[in-house]
Amino acid sequence: MVARLAGTLYTMQWMNSEMQDTCDRMLDTWSQLLALHPQESIEHIYGVAQTTLALARFLRLNENVLVHVWRGALLHDIGKIGIPKRLLQKPGPLDATEWRMMRQHPLYAYELLWPTPFLRPALDIPLYHHEKWDGTGYPYQLKGEDIPLAARLFAIVDVWYSLSEERLYRSRWNEQHIRDYIQLQSGRHFDPTLVAAFFAWRFGTAWTETLSY
Protein backbone atom coordinates (compact mmCIF):
# COMPACT_ATOMS: atom_id res chain seq x y z
CA MET A 1 0.00 0.00 0.00
CA VAL A 2 2.77 2.43 0.99
CA ALA A 3 4.79 1.51 -2.10
CA ARG A 4 1.74 2.03 -4.32
CA LEU A 5 1.04 5.42 -2.71
CA ALA A 6 4.70 6.42 -3.12
CA GLY A 7 4.52 5.41 -6.78
CA THR A 8 1.36 7.45 -7.28
CA LEU A 9 2.92 10.50 -5.64
CA TYR A 10 6.04 10.13 -7.80
CA THR A 11 3.89 9.95 -10.93
CA MET A 12 1.92 13.02 -9.85
CA GLN A 13 5.17 14.89 -9.17
CA TRP A 14 6.53 13.91 -12.60
CA MET A 15 3.31 14.99 -14.32
CA ASN A 16 3.37 18.30 -12.46
CA SER A 17 7.00 18.84 -13.47
CA GLU A 18 6.17 18.08 -17.11
CA MET A 19 3.22 20.47 -16.96
CA GLN A 20 5.39 23.24 -15.50
CA ASP A 21 8.00 22.70 -18.23
CA THR A 22 5.30 22.96 -20.88
CA CYS A 23 3.91 26.11 -19.30
CA ASP A 24 7.33 27.73 -19.12
CA ARG A 25 8.04 26.89 -22.77
CA MET A 26 4.74 28.57 -23.60
CA LEU A 27 5.86 31.66 -21.67
CA ASP A 28 9.08 31.75 -23.68
CA THR A 29 7.04 31.66 -26.89
CA TRP A 30 4.77 34.48 -25.71
CA SER A 31 7.77 36.57 -24.71
CA GLN A 32 9.34 36.11 -28.13
CA LEU A 33 6.06 37.12 -29.79
CA LEU A 34 5.94 40.24 -27.63
CA ALA A 35 9.49 41.05 -28.70
CA LEU A 36 8.24 41.36 -32.28
CA HIS A 37 6.10 44.31 -31.19
CA PRO A 38 7.52 47.85 -31.35
CA GLN A 39 9.39 49.15 -28.27
CA GLU A 40 10.11 45.65 -26.99
CA SER A 41 13.11 43.39 -27.49
CA ILE A 42 13.92 39.95 -26.21
CA GLU A 43 16.97 41.47 -24.46
CA HIS A 44 14.77 43.97 -22.61
CA ILE A 45 12.11 41.41 -21.69
CA TYR A 46 14.56 38.86 -20.28
CA GLY A 47 16.87 41.50 -18.82
CA VAL A 48 14.16 43.14 -16.78
CA ALA A 49 12.79 39.74 -15.72
CA GLN A 50 16.21 38.46 -14.61
CA THR A 51 16.94 41.66 -12.70
CA THR A 52 13.57 41.56 -10.96
CA LEU A 53 14.14 37.94 -9.98
CA ALA A 54 17.62 38.73 -8.64
CA LEU A 55 16.25 41.60 -6.57
CA ALA A 56 13.42 39.42 -5.24
CA ARG A 57 16.01 36.82 -4.20
CA PHE A 58 18.05 39.53 -2.50
CA LEU A 59 14.91 40.32 -0.49
CA ARG A 60 14.59 36.60 0.36
CA LEU A 61 11.10 36.19 -1.03
CA ASN A 62 9.71 32.66 -0.86
CA GLU A 63 10.75 30.36 -3.71
CA ASN A 64 7.11 29.70 -4.58
CA VAL A 65 6.61 33.44 -4.95
CA LEU A 66 9.70 33.78 -7.14
CA VAL A 67 8.13 31.57 -9.80
CA HIS A 68 5.23 33.99 -10.16
CA VAL A 69 7.53 37.02 -10.04
CA TRP A 70 9.54 35.56 -12.94
CA ARG A 71 6.47 34.75 -15.01
CA GLY A 72 4.83 38.08 -14.32
CA ALA A 73 7.99 39.97 -15.23
CA LEU A 74 8.31 38.08 -18.52
CA LEU A 75 4.72 38.98 -19.39
CA HIS A 76 4.68 42.48 -17.92
CA ASP A 77 3.75 44.22 -21.17
CA ILE A 78 1.82 41.41 -22.86
CA GLY A 79 -1.20 43.74 -22.91
CA LYS A 80 0.57 45.97 -25.43
CA ILE A 81 -0.35 43.40 -28.04
CA GLY A 82 -3.75 45.12 -27.90
CA ILE A 83 -2.31 48.61 -28.49
CA PRO A 84 -2.09 49.96 -32.08
CA LYS A 85 1.48 49.92 -33.39
CA ARG A 86 1.19 53.55 -34.47
CA LEU A 87 1.02 54.54 -30.78
CA LEU A 88 3.96 52.36 -29.76
CA GLN A 89 6.04 53.72 -32.64
CA LYS A 90 5.09 57.38 -32.21
CA PRO A 91 8.31 59.41 -31.77
CA GLY A 92 6.67 62.28 -29.86
CA PRO A 93 4.34 62.58 -26.85
CA LEU A 94 0.93 60.92 -26.98
CA ASP A 95 -2.13 63.15 -27.04
CA ALA A 96 -4.92 62.73 -24.47
CA THR A 97 -6.89 60.23 -26.55
CA GLU A 98 -3.81 58.18 -27.37
CA TRP A 99 -2.73 58.18 -23.73
CA ARG A 100 -6.14 56.85 -22.65
CA MET A 101 -5.70 54.02 -25.14
CA MET A 102 -2.17 53.27 -23.91
CA ARG A 103 -3.34 53.09 -20.30
CA GLN A 104 -5.58 50.17 -21.21
CA HIS A 105 -2.71 47.74 -21.72
CA PRO A 106 -2.65 46.40 -18.13
CA LEU A 107 -6.35 45.58 -18.49
CA TYR A 108 -5.67 43.83 -21.78
CA ALA A 109 -3.02 41.80 -19.96
CA TYR A 110 -5.63 40.75 -17.41
CA GLU A 111 -8.03 39.69 -20.17
CA LEU A 112 -5.28 37.66 -21.85
CA LEU A 113 -3.87 35.94 -18.76
CA TRP A 114 -6.81 35.39 -16.40
CA PRO A 115 -8.34 32.53 -18.45
CA THR A 116 -5.13 30.52 -17.85
CA PRO A 117 -5.30 29.36 -14.20
CA PHE A 118 -1.57 28.76 -13.68
CA LEU A 119 -0.84 32.37 -14.72
CA ARG A 120 -3.31 34.02 -12.34
CA PRO A 121 -0.78 34.25 -9.47
CA ALA A 122 1.59 36.01 -11.90
CA LEU A 123 -0.90 38.77 -12.74
CA ASP A 124 0.34 41.18 -10.05
CA ILE A 125 3.07 42.55 -12.32
CA PRO A 126 1.25 42.78 -15.68
CA LEU A 127 -1.85 44.32 -14.09
CA TYR A 128 -0.38 46.63 -11.43
CA HIS A 129 3.16 47.64 -12.48
CA HIS A 130 2.01 51.12 -13.58
CA GLU A 131 0.44 51.92 -10.21
CA LYS A 132 2.36 54.49 -8.16
CA TRP A 133 3.10 54.68 -4.45
CA ASP A 134 1.29 58.04 -4.15
CA GLY A 135 -1.87 56.79 -5.88
CA THR A 136 -1.42 58.63 -9.19
CA GLY A 137 -0.77 55.56 -11.33
CA TYR A 138 -3.06 53.39 -13.42
CA PRO A 139 -5.31 51.51 -14.07
CA TYR A 140 -6.83 51.63 -10.56
CA GLN A 141 -4.97 54.46 -8.79
CA LEU A 142 -3.92 52.10 -6.00
CA LYS A 143 -1.77 53.63 -3.28
CA GLY A 144 1.04 52.44 -1.01
CA GLU A 145 0.89 48.84 0.14
CA ASP A 146 -2.43 48.32 -1.63
CA ILE A 147 -0.19 47.79 -4.66
CA PRO A 148 1.09 44.19 -4.65
CA LEU A 149 4.73 43.85 -3.59
CA ALA A 150 5.80 42.18 -6.84
CA ALA A 151 4.42 45.11 -8.85
CA ARG A 152 6.13 47.68 -6.58
CA LEU A 153 9.41 45.83 -6.96
CA PHE A 154 9.09 45.45 -10.70
CA ALA A 155 8.19 49.13 -11.23
CA ILE A 156 11.63 50.23 -10.04
CA VAL A 157 13.48 47.73 -12.21
CA ASP A 158 11.33 48.52 -15.26
CA VAL A 159 11.92 52.27 -15.04
CA TRP A 160 15.64 51.72 -14.43
CA TYR A 161 15.92 49.52 -17.51
CA SER A 162 13.76 51.75 -19.69
CA LEU A 163 15.76 54.89 -18.89
CA SER A 164 19.02 53.08 -19.64
CA GLU A 165 17.86 52.23 -23.17
CA GLU A 166 17.56 54.30 -26.32
CA ARG A 167 13.94 55.05 -27.20
CA LEU A 168 12.28 56.66 -30.21
CA TYR A 169 11.45 59.76 -28.18
CA ARG A 170 14.67 60.19 -26.10
CA SER A 171 18.29 59.18 -25.66
CA ARG A 172 19.43 56.78 -22.96
CA TRP A 173 20.30 58.24 -19.56
CA ASN A 174 23.58 57.62 -17.76
CA GLU A 175 23.54 55.60 -14.55
CA GLN A 176 23.95 58.56 -12.17
CA HIS A 177 21.07 60.41 -13.83
CA ILE A 178 18.85 57.35 -13.47
CA ARG A 179 19.88 56.86 -9.85
CA ASP A 180 19.06 60.48 -9.05
CA TYR A 181 15.67 60.13 -10.74
CA ILE A 182 14.78 56.93 -8.87
CA GLN A 183 15.75 58.62 -5.59
CA LEU A 184 13.65 61.68 -6.48
CA GLN A 185 10.64 59.45 -7.17
CA SER A 186 11.01 57.54 -3.89
CA GLY A 187 7.75 58.05 -1.99
CA ARG A 188 6.04 59.34 -5.15
CA HIS A 189 6.25 56.76 -7.91
CA PHE A 190 8.11 54.12 -5.89
CA ASP A 191 7.91 52.41 -2.52
CA PRO A 192 10.74 54.10 -0.55
CA THR A 193 11.62 50.90 1.29
CA LEU A 194 12.06 49.08 -2.01
CA VAL A 195 14.10 51.94 -3.48
CA ALA A 196 16.51 51.51 -0.56
CA ALA A 197 16.54 47.75 -1.21
CA PHE A 198 17.26 48.27 -4.90
CA PHE A 199 20.17 50.61 -4.14
CA ALA A 200 21.52 48.15 -1.56
CA TRP A 201 21.36 45.32 -4.09
CA ARG A 202 22.86 47.31 -6.97
CA PHE A 203 25.32 49.60 -5.19
CA GLY A 204 25.98 47.89 -1.87
CA THR A 205 24.41 50.61 0.28
CA ALA A 206 23.10 49.82 3.76
CA TRP A 207 19.99 47.64 4.03
CA THR A 208 18.51 46.36 7.30
CA GLU A 209 14.80 45.90 6.52
CA THR A 210 12.88 42.60 6.53
CA LEU A 211 9.98 42.15 4.13
CA SER A 212 7.10 39.71 4.21
CA TYR A 213 5.04 38.72 1.21
The pLDDT value recorded for residue 185 is: 98
- In angstroms, what CA-CA distances link 31 with 21, 60, 160? 15, 26, 20
pLDDT of 14 reads: 39
Q: Is 15 a residue whose pLDDT tops 60?
A: no
Residue among 54, 59, 81, 58 nearest 70 (CA): 54
If you count them, how many residues does the chain have? 213
d(CA 188, CA 137): 10
73 phi/psi in degrees, rounded to 5: -65, -40
Q: Identify the CATH homologous superfamily for domain 22-203.
A: Hypothetical protein af1432 (1.10.3210.10)
The candidate with the shortest Cα–Cα distance to 76, out of 46, 97, 115, is 46
pLDDT of 177 over the 80 cut: yes
* Domain limits, the chain: 22-203
Binned at pLDDT 50, 70 and 90, residue 45 comes out as confident
Half-sphere exposure of 39 (CA within 13 A, CB side): 20
Angle among Cα 122, 26, 213 to the nearest 5 degrees reads: 15
Give SS3 for 170. strand
Strand, coil or helix: what is 186? strand
**Active-site residue list:** 80
Coil, strand or helix at 181: helix
CA 182/CA 191 separation, integer angstroms? 10
